[in-house]
Homo-oligomer: A and B are copies of this chain.
Amino acid sequence: MFNLINTVKEKNPLVAHYTNNVTINDCANITLAIGASPLMSFSYEEVDDIVSAASSVVINIGTMNSEYIELFIKAGKSANKYNKPVILDPVGVFATKARMELTNRLLNEVKFDVVKGNISEIKFIGGFNVKGKGVDSFDDGSDATDIVKRVAQKLESIVVATGKVDIITDGKSTYKVNNGTQKLKGITGTGCMTASLIGSFMACTENKLQAATMGTLAMSLCGELSDKEDMSLGSFKVKLMDNIYTLDVGTLNKHAKVNFIS
């Protein structure tokens, strides 16, 4: 599975993003750093041109508003039409009614290959009671594997729930990523960037569960490797991008802590 890091660089897939205004620059840069090509659009007119040319599509509702609802729906449907892997990042779905309704519409009208959120977002989508502040997760650290599997079964898609342990499951098989650092919550956009990384890997293998795991692992592992004792947040973000760019099979073999539960 780790060899997919080379496939991304060989294939240089085009990852189309319909995303938010807060972290859009970071998403573009991390897509480049992992070896793929980003394309960001807010245009109804070019959905067909872009999605048909793309290798995968990422939809992120972080700064959704009414004028983008139909755009996101159209982009998702277009991804389905052209048979492109499509990833949903339902940022802060638990925070407002508007986000909940948009997420419901997206889940009903688009067939997503991967739904990625923090553990609060995933639990909320599964119909569980959740606590969260703003768009941030409340992670009590308890094992949520069974809950996440049930959400995956309900959605009939791969679900990625990030947290102290990242859970990636299709409802049957599950990968758990034990890498990470609290500092990843100290900068904005690490969740959004994880979706970009998943999109980058999705174009490189038929094994979508492994692709989703690799994207999640890349972020958690590079975060961990970037977090030194004396590393403050500005430098941490720079180092994170550095480590994504230099991530290779050797580093993955040496440091990745991934369990597979079939």
By a beta-carbon cutoff of 8 Å, the part of chain A in contact with chain B is 12, 14, 16, 20-26, 28-29, 32-33, 37-46, 49-50, 53-54, 62-67, 92, 95-99, 133-136, 185-189, 232-235, 237-246
Contact = CB atoms under 8 A, between A and B. Distances in A.
Given A37-B134, A45-B98, A235-B238, 7 more contacts: A21-B42, A28-B189, A32-B188, A37-B133, A44-B66, A233-B245, A234-B240
B64 A43 contact: yes
Contact of A65 (B39, B42, B62): B42
Nearest 6 CB-CB pairs, A to B? Answer: A234-B241, A232-B242, A46-B96, A43-B65, A49-B96, A45-B98
B232 A241 contact: yes
Contacts of A234: 33, 237-242, 245
A25 B28 contact: no
7 contacts: A21-B24, A29-B237, A40-B63, A49-B96, A53-B95, A53-B134, A232-B241
Given A232-B246, A242-B234, A63 B41 contact: yes
Given A45-B98, A241-B234, A245-B234, A25 B65 contact: no
A168 to B, nearest CB: 25
Contacts of A96: 43, 45-46, 49-50
A12 to B, nearest CB: 7
